[in-house]
Amino acid sequence: MSQFDSELEERLLKESIVSATGVTTKNLQIGIRGDPSMRESTYDRQRYCSMVDNFYDDLEPHLEELLLNRGTHRLYIGFNNGEIRTCSIFDPLREEIHSAERLLEDDYMDRHFPELPYDEKIELIKEHHKQYEQSGLYERLPSYWKNIVIRRNKSWCPMETEHICSIMKTLNKLRDIQQYYLRNVTICIVQDIVRMQFNCDGTQIINADNYKEFLQQNLMPDEPTNM
């Protein structure tokens, strides 16, 4: 690869908030500020008690199940409106939208989300990566993009299952934070990131490996390290 392509590759990876290779080890968490007027009115907006709030203890195992034992690779939880968005490895280019209360039904879960053990889902994701590399369209990519894809696929690792469990078990606590409560969260096992939006209109994008440390430093300092 030429020096010019190397420079383009480096520039591309630095320019994105979350690049093609994910959140780098040099920048394990990213904070994005939103609408200033939203921050100014934070204390005036009381938390709406949604269906997710009312039934989170019952809903949490089902949400965890989607990431651990079903085809879901990305999960969005809307605490304010009860909206659940899912992306499945069986249909990776589409996003489905579900109401939270339906996910409490075992029959609904089985109809919409075929069972797939986590290790088999990871192998299927790797197969997708290989298929992209073998596609004729892949050959039309600029060389610097090819290099990014090859390096990413070789070093790719999914989110660890214990991280999924610990994240799910802390979301209701983040929802209970006074004034600065959690509004929604997206968990992506492919990019190994957690994206959270809070009532102050701030967004945090966190590497899953750094999730516990982020909570202890910023939001929940008294939580035990083995949560």
Q: In 3-state terms, what secondary structure has residue 93?
A: strand
Q: Examine residue 121 and state whether it is found in any structural domain, yes or no.
A: yes
Whether 128 has a pLDDT exceeding 60, the answer reads yes
Q: Examine residue 65 and state whether it is found in any structural domain, yes or no.
A: yes
155 confidence band (pLDDT: 50, 70, 90)? confident
206 confidence band (pLDDT: 50, 70, 90)? confident
Q: Examine residue 7 and state whether it is found in any structural domain, yes or no.
A: no
Pick from 75-84, 144-153, 180-189: least confident = 144-153
Per residue in 53-87, pLDDT tens? 889 999 999 999 999 999 999 999 999 889 999 99
95 confidence band (pLDDT: 50, 70, 90)? very high
**Structural domain range at position 80:** 12-19+26-219
> Token digits for 64?
């965890």
Q: Examine residue 58 and state whether it is found in any structural domain, yes or no.
A: yes
Beta-bridge partner residues of 204: 31, 196
Per residue in 18-27, pLDDT tens? 655 455 544 5
> Token digits for 26?
């040099």
Question: For residues 71 and 223, which has the higher predicted lDDT (pLDDT)?
Answer: 71
Q: What is the pLDDT of residue 227?
A: 44
Whether 118 has a pLDDT exceeding 80, the answer reads yes
Q: What is the pLDDT of residue 97?
A: 96
CA–CA gap between residue 36 and residue 200 (Å, rounded) = 9
Domain count, the chain: 1
Q: What is the pLDDT of residue 225?
A: 46
| Phi, psi dihedrals of residue 206, rounded to the nearest 5° | -130, 135
Q: What is the pLDDT of residue 113?
A: 96
Q: Examine residue 2 and state whether it is found in any structural domain, yes or no.
A: no
Between CA 50 and CA 128, with CA 109 as vertex, the angle to 5 degrees is 110
Q: What is the pLDDT of residue 103?
A: 96
Average pLDDT of span 124-147: 87
Q: Examine residue 226 and state whether it is found in any structural domain, yes or no.
A: no
| Phi, psi dihedrals of residue 83, rounded to the nearest 5° | -90, 130
Whether 192 has a pLDDT exceeding 80, the answer reads yes
CA–CA gap between residue 81 and residue 52 (Å, rounded) = 8
Pair 85, 192: CB distance under 8 Å: no
Q: What is the pLDDT of residue 181?
A: 86
Q: Examine residue 3 and state whether it is found in any structural domain, yes or no.
A: no
Residue carrying structure tokens 């004034």: 179
Pick from 14-23, 91-100, 172-181: least confident = 14-23
Pick from 35-49, 64-78, 92-106, 145-159: least confident = 35-49
Q: Examine residue 89 and state whether it is found in any structural domain, yes or no.
A: yes
